[in-house]
Amino acid sequence: MNPQKKNLPIALTGDRPTGKLHLGHYVGSLAARLRLQEECKQFVMIADAQALTDHAHEPQLIRAHILEVALDYLAVGLDPGKTTLFIQSLVPALPELTQYFLNLVTWNRLKHNPTVKLEIQQKGYGEEVPAGFMVYPISQAADIVAFKADFVPVGDDQLPMIEQTVEVVRKFNRLYQKDVLVEPKAISSAQARLPGIDGKAKMSKSLQNAIFLSDEPDVVRQKVQRMYTDPNHLRVEDPGKVEGNPVFTYLDAFGKDKEKIAELKAHYGRGGLGDVAIKKYLMEELLEFLEPIRKARQEFAKDPGGVMQILRKGTEVAIEAAACTLREVREAMGTNYF
């Protein structure tokens, strides 16, 4: 497994198993993980415990989607020989580290975490916020420091989480006068967040505006045909707006011929190029990109037991790595009683 690599930096990242992964996930983190598995000792976590902070009423959904997320990981090219894939809830050290770190953070600080505040607003919790949801930034900090991650690929919306992790690391090391924990650095995607096909700021399963990595070709075509463009581009001969146009955002992310894309933008901007034409070109590019992923996923899906065995082996590696950090934490705190 991956931890056989020596003297390499460590990267950690993960996804919540609340559905299949989509193009936004690829742009946001999966592309970075493919690169990092060649450069780092990488851990990729299926964050089922974190998912339960706002899906406690449907654990069966989380269970079912663990396999779905694992299939997406393998299909895009994450190699279990290079990357350790594991299930969060099966690593015993993580909740214990979370408990210790909660004592290093004030409730007021948690309430003012920008990511948490935004998600509370988006989910419409009001005053009925689950306590587990409020403290999940500290659980996330435990996930990161348990593996002494040097790098964490995240979207811009998750940067406050990394900042809070750094605060925990610094306070722990200062309080117990030992440099036990490692300060992580965030790796942000060079590509801007991929909007949904409806033009909204975020591609999301819940908003029903996502193109999934496993979508069949006909489904991809239908979704691209429905894609939001420039609402004022009513006639082909009219100048169209390129900036903020999801079709061109997707072409920037997935189109191979950058020169041709630049020409299409110029043509669209001065008029004479219709939405149907640029959507057709995007369809071709997306179908070419997604086809090998879809086929690879179908092959892995033929052996679900084999996929779960990959997760089992990866989780065993993760258990050992996190337990080592926990022993060092206990030693620093003086709670290694026996």
**Does some domain include residue 321?**
yes
- Encoding tokens for residue 258? 């950058």
List b or e across 177-214, with b for residues whose CB sees 16 or more CB atoms inside 10 angstroms.
eeebbbbbebbebeeeebbbbebeebbeeeeebbbbbb
**Does some domain include residue 96?**
yes
Instruction: Please tell me the total count of domains within the chain.
Output: 2
CA distance 64 to 74: 17
pLDDT at 6: 63
Looking at the fold, whether 290 and 311 belong to one and the same domain comes out as no
**Does some domain include residue 206?**
no
CA distance 132 to 247: 38
Looking at the fold, whether 271 and 166 belong to one and the same domain comes out as no
- Closest Cα partner for 311 from 90, 64, 86, 59? 86
Per the structure, the complete domain to which residue 53 belongs is given by 2-195+303-333
Give the DSSP H/E element, type plus range, for residue 281. Answer: helix 275-301
Looking at the fold, whether 72 and 163 belong to one and the same domain comes out as yes
Looking at the fold, whether 127 and 250 belong to one and the same domain comes out as no
Contact by Cβ (8 Å): 97, 329? yes
Looking at the fold, whether 180 and 260 belong to one and the same domain comes out as no
**What is the separation, in whole angstroms, between the first and last Cα of the chain?**
31
CATH code, domain carrying 37? 3.40.50.620
Dihedral class, residue 19 (left if φ above 0, else alpha if ψ from -120 to 50, else beta): left
Looking at the fold, whether 83 and 97 belong to one and the same domain comes out as yes
**Does some domain include residue 212?**
no
Going residue by residue through the chain, which has 338 residues, state the pLDDT in tens, using 9 for 90 and above: 444 556 789 999 999 998 899 998 998 889 999 999 999 999 999 999 999 988 888 899 999 999 999 999 999 999 999 999 999 999 999 999 999 999 999 998 988 888 888 888 877 887 888 888 888 899 999 999 999 999 999 877 788 889 999 999 999 999 999 999 999 999 886 666 788 999 887 787 777 899 999 999 999 999 999 999 999 998 999 999 999 899 999 999 999 999 999 999 999 999 999 999 999 999 999 999 999 999 999 999 999 999 999 999 999 999 999 999 999 999 999 999 98
Contact by Cβ (8 Å): 167, 105? yes
Looking at the fold, whether 265 and 317 belong to one and the same domain comes out as no
- Model-level pTM? 0.90
Looking at the fold, whether 284 and 325 belong to one and the same domain comes out as no
pLDDT at 2: 46
- Residue 168, SS3 per DSSP: helix
- Closest Cα partner for 141 from 187, 184, 107? 184
